[in-house]
Structure formats: structure tokens, C-alpha cells
């Protein structure tokens, strides 16, 4: 589904499967607008100052009444709006290559339906479902950044989104981790290429060095907690005492963005390897006719041995894995396999690990062939062994001249049991937090 569909979806009443996955601004605009008018903020562009005003209003005596009249809704809208911008940025950058569905992404962070929440909502743990917006507001530190800015930080480390993007071959890396892992040279180059004039290279170098030192101390051995760690005012002030903490935070984020852009520019712009790419990489050079029968027998025997590992999975993955291989064996495209088994395309290849299994099968087969004519050097010479293993793997992944699918698929089909029934699409659309 592309962005247009997302926009259409966003403007209509939520579909049943996305009951909590639509930005709330479109459902309760009138109530939110009324509250803004009551506070004298109608028509004002959202900003950190407005956020602070809303928060201050919530701290007053009329807090409960204001919240029920829509004040809290305004803050939740603000978070959802910022989160949506980030989701759309991800789709803009990687949507096509990594086959991102905006609705899948939205379901991970835009899960606040806008319905009234028990008061006081912030800090409440009684609710069965705790929308992402509440998490953001709970953890918000107004002394450091605007709410939109803060939302971005929380999006960046939101586990369901991290897991979903991982399935699509993307790493949603936190700013702090990026900064901590970058060498001084890399930081300087990234800033030179992708930074702004608002900070000089010397300032960047000093701040980066300070950050790395303090980060290590602040994080210590608690790496498990690092996934949710955010710098506090004390931490930020220690990095650059004369500078206000919010400005230091903004500078660090700008430096992290420059690093991300630098890495992005250095990486090949290919999407995740697909099954078609794996097959296309395999040249169709056949072994000499004399050894074809022997090679094929060895490969088939090795495939039968590898099959349990290919199908091995836990829980609901068992049926999914069987479904994926069954459709692969029929020679279906990655897209069709994904549709048939109810999962996104990148997940198909990640689950199948087709190239890795093909290499394992080729190596096993080569073990059967050691010492046979044409394979005398296998096991005695690294170069010969590597070259023969690559040849067998390529042979396995290539389609025969008169065939319509790779040999691996063709030979796999009879080995698989009758179809295992898989329910309707059960991917992340149904359970975004799976």
C-alpha cells in the first residue's frame, strides 16, 4: 500500500483492523480546535512554546475539567502529528526499496484513537491499552525540547517500530548509539558533508568527544537500559556548560542526522536481497555432462538432509515457514509468496534464508563428492573447494535451460508435505506488536 492509500485511509473512519491506528486529529478536530480557542491558541503554529502553554494549563486547578474538554487531546494530537511526520519520512526515504507499508508503520505509533482516557491519564497504568502518545507525554521533559522534538526521540527507540523495520532490512538506530559509535574522523566528515553552518567543525569535534566520554560513563554496564536511555538536563549541561541544555540536545541530534546521512550515502542503495536477486546471481553454467548425474544426486541427497533445518521454527512460525517454502517450491515470485502466506516481501527472504541454505546444501553435497572425478582437490585446496562449492550453489539456484524455476525449487516440491493450512493474512497488520 502506498502513501496515497494511507492518506485516503487516514481521512476516513478507521477500518476495523486499524481501529487504533489512525492519527487522532482527523477524528476529534472540533474538540481539539475548541480547546485551543479557549486557551487563546487558535490558529497558532504548533511549537515548543505552545506545548509548554498546554502543559502549564494542565498543571492548574482546572486541569481535570480542561482535560475532559480536550486539552489532553490537543497534546495527544501533537504527539501523533509529529509521529506521523516521522513515519512519512521513513516511507519517503525507504518505502519503495524496502517495501514499507505506511499503514503497517502507522499502526506501531499512531495507535491513539482519541477516545477519552481515564483521568488522570498521565502515569496511569490501569488502562489495558496504553497508546504510544501517552508514553511520549509521560516521559516528556519540557525543559529539554518541544513535544514534537521529544516525540521523534521516542519514535526512534519504539520497540514495535524497531522490530517492524528490522523485518524490512532497516535499522532504526538511536541518535545516542550512532554518536557513541562514530569515530572522530567519521563525525568530522559527516558534518562537513551533511551538517550546517550553525556549528563549526571544531565545535562539533569538541561536543562529540565530550558526548562519547559522558555517554560511556552514563551508560556504564547497563546496556540493556540503553535502549530507552535519553539524556537529561544534567547530562547535557555537563557536555557544554555555557550552552542551554535544549540547544545542546538539538546540536547532538543534528550531528546524529549528519552521521545517518553520511552512512546512507556510503551504503549501496540496493534494497534487501530478494529471492529473484539470489536466483539471478547464479550463472547457469552446468557441470560437464559426465558428472551431472552425480552432482544432481549429491545435491538432492544434501537437500533432503537440509530440509528439517529449512522448516524448523517455533510457534506460529512453523506454519508460516512451511507455507513460504511450499510456494517457493512452486516457483512463485517473492511478491506472490508474500501475498499467499500473508507476510511482507522482505520478510519472505529473511525467513527463507534461501542463499544460506543453498550454500549449506552445496557444501554438504560437495562432501559427498570428495575424491570423485573432477572433485579430487576438494578438501585439500581452499581455492578449489571454494570454487566447487560456489559452482554447486549456483547450479542449485539456477533454472535449467528448459525449466521455469530454480532446481532447488523443483527438487524441493516433492519433499514437502501436503499444504499446511495457514489462516488469513496474519502478519503485523493484525498484530502490530507481534
For residues 150-209, which are near another protein according to CB under 8 A?
Answer: 152, 155-156, 159, 165-166, 169-174, 177-178, 181-183, 186, 196, 198
| Cβ nearer to another protein, comparing 297 with 312 | 312
CB 157 within 8 A of CB 249: no
Give the interface segment with another protein, choosing from 36-44, 54-62, 135-143, 356-364 (CB under 8 A).
356-364
What is the Cα–Cα distance from 121 to 127, expressed in whole angstroms?
A: 9
| Cβ nearer to another protein, comparing 190 with 422 | 190
Residue selected from 356, 372, 400, 431 as contacting another protein according to rule CB under 8 A = 356
What is the Cα–Cα distance from 331 to 84, expressed in whole angstroms?
A: 38
Provide the 3-class DSSP secondary structure of residue 72: helix
Q: How far is the CB of 82 from another protein (least distance, A)?
A: 9
CB 102 within 8 A of CB 89: no
| Cβ nearer to another protein, comparing 67 with 101 | 101
Q: How far is the CB of 146 from another protein (least distance, A)?
A: 7
Looking at residue 24, what DSSP letter applies?
Answer: G
Q: Which of residues 110-149 bind another protein (CB under 8 A)?
A: 146, 148-149
| Cβ nearer to another protein, comparing 72 with 191 | 191
What is the Cα–Cα distance from 23 to 77, expressed in whole angstroms?
A: 8
Q: How far is the CB of 375 from another protein (least distance, A)?
A: 11
Give Cα separations from 205 to 176, 209, 235, 244 (angstroms). Answer: 15, 6, 18, 18
Q: Which of residues 78-97 bind another protein (CB under 8 A)?
A: 85-86, 89-90, 93-94, 97
CB 208 within 8 A of CB 255: yes
Quickly list DSSP for 250-303.
HHHHHHHHHHHHHHHHHS----SPPHHHHHHTS--PPPPHHHHHHHHHHHHHHH
Q: How far is the CB of 201 from another protein (least distance, A)?
A: 16
Q: How far is the CB of 265 from another protein (least distance, A)?
A: 10
CB 48 within 8 A of CB 34: no
Q: How far is the CB of 165 from another protein (least distance, A)?
A: 6
Give the interface segment with another protein, choosing from 206-214, 233-241, 318-326, 351-359 (CB under 8 A).
351-359
Give which of 3, 22, 2 is closest to 11, Cα–Cα: 22
| Residue 260 engages another protein in binding (rule: CB under 8 A) | yes
Please name the residues in contact with 127: beta carbons below 8 A apart, sequence gap of 6 or more: 117, 118, 121, 134
Q: How far is the CB of 7 from another protein (least distance, A)?
A: 17
Residue selected from 58, 154, 208, 251 as contacting another protein according to rule CB under 8 A = 251
> From the CB of residue 242, how many other CB atoms can be counted at a distance below 10 Å?
6
Q: Which of residues 8-67 bind another protein (CB under 8 A)?
A: 48
The alpha carbon of 311 is separated from its chain's Cα centroid by a whole number of angstroms, namely: 25
Which single residue is written with the C-alpha cell 516521559?
Answer: 139
| Cβ nearer to another protein, comparing 28 with 215 | 215
| Residue 308 engages another protein in binding (rule: CB under 8 A) | yes
Residue selected from 340, 385, 405, 416 as contacting another protein according to rule CB under 8 A = 385
Q: How far is the CB of 340 from another protein (least distance, A)?
A: 23
Amino acid at each position: 500500500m502506498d502513501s496515497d492509500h494511507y492518506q485516503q485511509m487516514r481521512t476516513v473512519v478507521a477500518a476495523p483492523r486499524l481501529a487504533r491506528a489512525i492519527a487522532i486529529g482527523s477524528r476529534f478536530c472540533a474538540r481539539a480546535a475548541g480547546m485551543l480557542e479557549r486557551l487563546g491558541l487558535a490558529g497558532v503554529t504548533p511549537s515548543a512554546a505552545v506545548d509548554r502553554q498546554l502543559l502549564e494549563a494542565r498543571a492548574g486547578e482546572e486541569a481535570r475539567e480542561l482535560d475532559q474538554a480536550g486539552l489532553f487531546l490537543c497534546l495527544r494530537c501533537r504527539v501523533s502529528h509529529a509521529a506521523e511526520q516521522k513515519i512519512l519520512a521513513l516511507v519517503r526515504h525507504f518505502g519503495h526499496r524496502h517495501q514499507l507499508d505506511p499503514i503497517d508503520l502507522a499502526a506501531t505509533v499512531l495507535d491513539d484513537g482519541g477516545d477519552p482516557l481515564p483521568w488522570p491519564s498521565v502515569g496511569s497504568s490501569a488502562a489495558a491499552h496504553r497508546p504510544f502518545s501517552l508514553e511520549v507525554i509521560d516521559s516528556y521533559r519540557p525543559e529539554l525540547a518541544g513535544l514534537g522534538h521529544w516525540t521523534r526521540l521516542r519514535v526512534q527507540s519504539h520497540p514495535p517500530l524497531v522490530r517492524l523495520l528490522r523485518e524490512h532490512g532497516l535499522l532504526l538506530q538511536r541518535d545516542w548509539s550512532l554518536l557513541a559509535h562514530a569515530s572522530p574522523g567519521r563525525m568530522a566528515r559527516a558534518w562537513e558533508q551533511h551538517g550546517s553552518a550553525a556549528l563549526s567543525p571544531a565545535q562539533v569535534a569538541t561536543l562529540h568527544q565530550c558526548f562519547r566520554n559522558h555517554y560511556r560513563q552514563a551508560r556504564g554496564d547497563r546496556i540493556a537500559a540503553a535502549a530507552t536511555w535519553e539524556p537529561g538536563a544534567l547530562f547535557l549541561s555537563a557536555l557544554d556548560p555555557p550552552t542551554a541544555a535544549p540547544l545542546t540536545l538539538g546540536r547532538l541530534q543534528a550531528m546524529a542526522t549528519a552521521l545517518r546521512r553520511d552512512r546512507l550515502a556510503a551504503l549501496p542503495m540496493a534494497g534487501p536481497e530478494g529471492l529473484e536477486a539470489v536466483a539471478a546471481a547464479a550463472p547457469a553454467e552446468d557441470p560437464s555432462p559426465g558428472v551431472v548425474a552425480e552432482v544432481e544426486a549429491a545435491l538432492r541427497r544434501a537437500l533432503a538432509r537440509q530440509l528439517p533445518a529449512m522448516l524448523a521454527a517455533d510457534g506460529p512460525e512453523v506454519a508460516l515457514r512451511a507455507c513460504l517454502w511450499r510456494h517457493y517450491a512452486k516457483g512463485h515470485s517473492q511478491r506472490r509468496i508474500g501475498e499467499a502466506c500473508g507476510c511482507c516481501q522482505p520478510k519472505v527472504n529473511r525467513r527463507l534464508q534461501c542463499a544460506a541454505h543453498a550454500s549449506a546444501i552445496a557444501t554438504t553435497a560437495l562432501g559427498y563428492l570428495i575424491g570423485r572425478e573432477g572433485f579430487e582437490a576438494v578438501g585439500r585446496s581452499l581455492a578449489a573447494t571454494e570454487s566447487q562449492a560456489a559452482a554447486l550453489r549456483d547450479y542449485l539456484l539456477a533454472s535449467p535451460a528448459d525449466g521455469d524455476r530454480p532446481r532447488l525449487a523443483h527438487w524441493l516440491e516433492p519433499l514437502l508435505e501436503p499444504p499446511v493450512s495457514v489462516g488469513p493474512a496474519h502478519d503485523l497488520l493484525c498484530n502490530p506488536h507481534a
